Structure 1
Amino acid sequence: MIRLRIQVAHWPRRSLVLTDTPRPDCGNCEGLGGIEHPYGDHNGEYAGDEWEPCGCWNENRRWFLMPLPRRPRWLRHRDAGRDPWGPGGYSDEPPF
C-alpha cells in the first residue's frame, strides 16, 4: 500500500512532488524508513553511520506535481542582509 504525502523538492528546481512515506507500523524500522548502523574506527571511537533502507517503502518513488515560482531577481537581492529589527526579529530600541 502506498502512503502519499506532498513534499517540496529543491533539485533541479523548487517544485512540489508527491512521494511515498514509510509504513508507520513496520516492525523492522518502526516507521523511520530504514535502519541505522553506527560503526567505529580502529580505536573503537564513533566514526559515522550507515543507513540500510527498509523494504516497507521506496524513497525514489515520487511524482512531479508542479514547479514553484521563483522570486524576481530584484526582489531576492533587495532585502538581503538588511533586517530593520536586528537579529532574531526584535528591536532593542525603546518604544518612545
Structure 2
Amino acid sequence: MLRLRLKVLGCPRRVLALTDTPRPDCPNCQGTGGTEEPYAYPDTGEYWGSGWEFCPCWTAWTRPLLPLPRLPRWLRRTPPGYSNEPPF
C-alpha cells in the first residue's frame, strides 16, 4: 500500500514531486525505509564504506508533478559575508 506525500526536489530546477514514504510501524526497518550495511576490508577489517538496502515496505520512487517558479533576483538571499574587521 502506498503512503503518498509531496516533496520539493531541487535537481536542475525546483519541482514539486509525489513520493512514497516507508511504513512507520515496519518491524524490519522501524520506519526508516531500509537498513545500512557497513562494509570492511576482508583482510584488515578497516572500514570500506556502507551500502543501503531498501525494505520491501517502501518503494523509492518519485513522480515530478509541477515545476516551481524561480524567485526574482532581488528576493534571493545571499549568505552574509563574515569579517573580523570593524564596521567603519
In which range does the TM-score fall when normalised by the shorter chain?
Answer: 0.7 to 0.9
How many percent of aligned residue pairs carry the same amino acid? 52
2:5 corresponds in structure 1 to 5
Structure 1 partner of 2:20: 20
Higher relative contact order (CA 8 A, sep 6+): 2
After TM superposition, give the deviation of residue 46 of structure 1 in Å. 1.3
Structure 1: gaps spanning 5 or more residues: none
Poorly superposed stretches of 4+, deviation over 2 Å: 62-65, 78-81
Following superposition, the deviation at residue 39 of structure 1 comes to 1.1
Aligned length: 82
Q: TM-score, normalised by structure 2?
A: 0.75
CA apart distance, 1:79: 6.1
Alignment of 1:10-89 (within 5 A): 10-41=10-41, 42-60=43-61, 62-72=62-72, 75=73, 80=78, 83=80, 87=82
Give distance in 2, aligned partners of 1:71 and 1:3: 31
More helix by share: 1
